[in-house]
A and B are shown apart, each in its own frame.
Chain A
């Protein structure tokens, strides 16, 4: 793509999220979300193949619907409160509509159907932006309206997300779809704790973004998009196999890696609020997620897939792809657990 155009698109993307996060007027937040969608769609079309076109179209349709619903919720809130300030909402209808709209934007169940197909159709780098940066804006709005969200609605959607994120990923071999289902499940964990302690939503978001960033960077380093090509990584860069394994185990939420921290904190907050069955159920369903991460771990680091002899004797060239921030990201996504008391800085 023409570098000037690409620069403008990236700048708009960043600017739009900043607008959503920092605005205090509902109209500006809505404009920010629209700009976000408008800037992202050409980025998705960077490689002009039919898959990307399909992905972009699905993304446009879902996000535009969500924006329309969001505008409706804003207007109802205006009608009942007479002002445009972004605080908690003053009408249960507005609150429900807005939660649903933001759920569509995030990809929470039962509005999750677009996430795997859109993630699959776009290149790895764009998929990284979709699953990490694009979550910031809707979650920031959810954080601000969190006192007024209908509890049952958000808990149902999040529990359903965790279930669907776990079950949906079981039958996948395409890495981008696996990351999409993992994103759905993690969004579920994040929105579970939103009505009780929104700070932990931000903590979970931070750790999730770091882990997803690490995974995508490892995939980009090897240019792999399927489990099969990931299983050949031992021949190209052997150290990547260990790092992939550690990051995947961290995403599965195994102690002592940092992926355990958000789960532990969320379960602690939920038990403090007298909910015991729900965190148990959530934790056990998260094991479904762990199952397909284990399958990837087996493919990468612990077993040798059958392959032709050609594949076992690759030249190990100096890597030409820049592994942006990979060491930092790996350290953060695996070794952050002892620093758990530090998360008070998020307050």
Chain B
């Protein structure tokens, strides 16, 4: 695992020692090389995980997430070139350093064996993200957004620390590979209920669960493009990954405790999808769509069946690529008209036809068109929740329809129809932007040829 961590850390001296006109080229190229080397992780054993050392391991659940994380860094760097063009070189290098630091911490989070190391890295990812949102965001609301983001996550995760230390005292070790075999079944007692809550709340806030999702629209909207990309694509999946790791330890209690959160997820996904139809702010629409997709993942993880786990993992990867791509598209709009209001830039298909292709592809994958992996994820989740309880098909079906509605609404609103007059002098698309979109959609489409690798350890 050091073969990923050390090159990523060394990207920092690379950035600081580069000549001013080579900052972007150096960091993008080298991070792309690191992401290509991450494909080594796909060589997973069938009956065990890859145990690199006492400290790091990777199994079929964390490998796709790691590859996604490492793939995203060059994409983030490509996306940030435009809005940082006018900054002095020191500040550009600082921004790139923040992204690289975030990347290192994320790699260590996804590969941690010991749950306390996972916790420390999980919390540590908050600091670079906070700095990116607050220092480089554009509106005054970003201050509030940063505080909401930090405090919601911290209030959820401090009980997790206490629960992990309690678990260490009772079971003797927090090494995940041992713990999944040692875990005692939990009975339904008040103290076990509180321990279940303490373990899960951190990840439910991070996902986010419907009632605790207030930080997400704020943070996603106010963050600069790289911040939005990494938040939507990877940081939300930290919550899902944590839940998938910790639920084996929480025994039969989950069947009783999961009900309120299942209700919140099922209702919340319909609510947040519906509110997407009433959004005027483009980034806010994509943020609420993230909440909706993640609510499906939460529901899938809480019912704990093999199909639902596979669906949750597939949906996490698919949503990561899709929503990151949507944020890049929204940012390409924002850079031209400097406003996030959707109706200000309409009918873009006439002006930017190739970008319209990417908009179409992104919207189609967002609404889970076959045969993309979005569909595989959603279908597996819908089927497993149907088998858990038949009437939920009403909510699930409604959600699928509303997801299609708002994805097409977003597509039609920005691309089709009569164009507004003030956009007839926008700059044409840059090759960099086309490359960015292609690099998002090509893995997504290729994965539909071999979805086995993203279906997680239960395949």
Q: How many A-B residue pairs have CB under 8 A?
A: 70
Whether the pair B165, A302 counts as a contact (CB closer than 8 A) is no
A290 at interface (Cβ–Cβ under 8 A)?
yes
A14 at interface (Cβ–Cβ under 8 A)?
no
B135 at interface (Cβ–Cβ under 8 A)?
yes
B50 at interface (Cβ–Cβ under 8 A)?
no
B292 at interface (Cβ–Cβ under 8 A)?
no
Q: Which residues of A contact B120 (CB under 8 A)?
A: 255-256, 260, 337
Query: Among the listed A245, A272, A279, A291, which residue makes an inter-chain contact with B151, where contact means beta carbons less than 8 Å apart?
Result: A291
Chain B nearest Cβ from A303, distance in angstroms? 7
Whether the pair A283, B158 counts as a contact (CB closer than 8 A) is yes
Whether the pair B151, A268 counts as a contact (CB closer than 8 A) is no
Query: Among the listed B121, B150, B194, which residue makes an inter-chain contact with A294, where contact means beta carbons less than 8 Å apart?
Result: B150
CA distance A254 to B194 in the complex (A): 24
Query: Among the listed A245, A272, A298, A337, which residue makes an inter-chain contact with B143, where contact means beta carbons less than 8 Å apart?
Result: A298
Within 8 A of B (CB), among A175-212: none
Chain A nearest Cβ from B251, distance in angstroms? 19
Per-position binary interface string of chain A over residues 285-306, scored 1 when its CB falls under 8 Å from any chain B CB and 0 otherwise: 0010011001000100111000
Chain A nearest Cβ from B235, distance in angstroms? 16
Chain B nearest Cβ from A271, distance in angstroms? 5
Query: Among the listed B123, B131, B146, B198, which residue makes an inter-chain contact with A280, where contact means beta carbons less than 8 Å apart?
Result: B198
CA distance A284 to B152 in the complex (A): 11
Q: Which residues of B contact A254 (CB under 8 A)?
A: 123-124, 126-127
Interface centre among B134, B150, B165, B198 (most CB of A within 10 A): B165
Q: Which residues of A contact B198 (CB under 8 A)?
A: 280
Chain A nearest Cβ from B135, distance in angstroms? 5
- Write the chain A residue with the least CB distance to B166: A271
Query: Among the listed B146, B155, B169, which residue makes an inter-chain contact with A272, where contact means beta carbons less than 8 Å apart?
Result: B169
Which bucket holds chain B's interface residue count? 20 to 34
- Write the chain B residue with the least CB distance to A294: B147
Q: Which residues of B contact A37 (CB under 8 A)?
A: none
Q: Which residues of A contact B123 (CB under 8 A)?
A: 254-256, 260
- Write the chain B residue with the least CB distance to A245: B131
B162 at interface (Cβ–Cβ under 8 A)?
yes
Whether the pair A280, B158 counts as a contact (CB closer than 8 A) is yes
Q: Which residues of B contact A302 (CB under 8 A)?
A: 131, 134-135, 146
CA distance A291 to B148 in the complex (A): 11
Interface centre among B120, B121, B191 (most CB of A within 10 A): B120
Per-position binary interface string of chain B over residues 218-255, scored 1 when its CB falls under 8 Å from any chain A CB and 0 otherwise: 00000000000000000000000000000000000000
Chain B nearest Cβ from A251, distance in angstroms? 13
Q: Which residues of B contact A256 (CB under 8 A)?
A: 105, 120-121, 123-124
Given A254-B127, A271-B166: A301 in contact with B135 (beta carbons within 8 A): yes
Q: Which residues of B contact A337 (CB under 8 A)?
A: 120
Whether the pair B166, A287 counts as a contact (CB closer than 8 A) is no
- The count of chain A contact residues (Cβ–Cβ below 8 Å) is 25
Chain B nearest Cβ from A345, distance in angstroms? 21
Whether the pair B154, A290 counts as a contact (CB closer than 8 A) is yes
B161 at interface (Cβ–Cβ under 8 A)?
yes
Q: Which residues of B contact A279 (CB under 8 A)?
A: 162
Per-position binary interface string of chain B over residues 184-212, scored 1 when its CB falls under 8 Å from any chain A CB and 0 otherwise: 00000001001000100000000000000
B7 at interface (Cβ–Cβ under 8 A)?
no
Within 8 A of A (CB), among B96-144: 105, 119-121, 123-124, 126-127, 131, 134-135, 143
Given A267-B161, A267-B165: A303 in contact with B155 (beta carbons within 8 A): no
Chain B nearest Cβ from A61, distance in angstroms? 38
A80 at interface (Cβ–Cβ under 8 A)?
no
B89 at interface (Cβ–Cβ under 8 A)?
no
Q: Which residues of A contact B126 (CB under 8 A)?
A: 254
A249 at interface (Cβ–Cβ under 8 A)?
yes
- Write the chain B residue with the least CB distance to A337: B120
A133 at interface (Cβ–Cβ under 8 A)?
no
CA distance A294 to B135 in the complex (A): 13
A6 at interface (Cβ–Cβ under 8 A)?
no
Whether the pair A287, B154 counts as a contact (CB closer than 8 A) is yes
CA distance A287 to B159 in the complex (A): 12
Interface centre among A255, A267, A287 (most CB of B within 10 A): A255
Per-position binary interface string of chain A over residues 54-70, scored 1 when its CB falls under 8 Å from any chain B CB and 0 otherwise: 00000000000000000
Closest 7 CB pairs of A and B: A283-B158, A302-B134, A255-B120, A256-B124, A255-B123, A271-B165, A302-B135
8 contacts between A and B (CB under 8 A): A249-B127, A268-B165, A271-B166, A272-B165, A287-B154, A290-B151, A298-B134, A337-B120
7 extra interface residue pairs, beta carbon distance < 8 Å, beyond A276-B194, A287-B154: A254-B126, A256-B120, A268-B168, A271-B162, A276-B191, A280-B159, A294-B150
Identify the A interface with B (CB < 8 A): 245, 249, 254-256, 260, 264, 267-268, 271-272, 276, 279-280, 283-284, 287, 290-291, 294, 298, 301-303, 337
